[in-house]
Amino acid sequence: MRHARFDVASLAIEQVAVPLRAAYLLVAETDGTDVPQWELVAYALEPAPIAQGRYQVDVTALDGRRFTGEAALVRSVDGAHVLRGTGALDGVLDDDLA
């Protein structure tokens, strides 16, 4: 399995900025899949939950790279949000995965 982790500088969900304490983006390529799987773990400054659903996610990493894709909310508790990609994540390069 090849994978990569990106530290997140900023996050927008459905084009609404989410002020962050911390966040990271995990991308993994497993045998038998056409596109890498990905998951975003974000710790927001505000404890408000996010409703269950699918969302357009826009991520800017600390190095300035941008990633976009659609994700489903897995859980949202006390400002800790986990979103799992439901398709491809734009911005990931093959060389990113080691």
pLDDT digits (tens, 9 = 90+) for 51-76: 999 999 999 999 999 999 999 999 99
> Domain segments of the chain: what residues?
2-92
Over the chain, what is the mean pLDDT? 97
Indicate whether 82 pLDDT > 90: yes
Each residue of 58-70: b (16+ CB within 10 Å) or e?
bbbbeeeeebebe
Nearest to 56 by CA among 9, 80, 89, 22: 89
Residue 31's pLDDT band, with cuts at 50, 70 and 90, is confident
The two structure tokens encoding residue 48: 């408000």
Residue 36's pLDDT band, with cuts at 50, 70 and 90, is very high
Q: How much is the pLDDT for 67?
A: 99
Mean pLDDT confidence for 34-51:
96
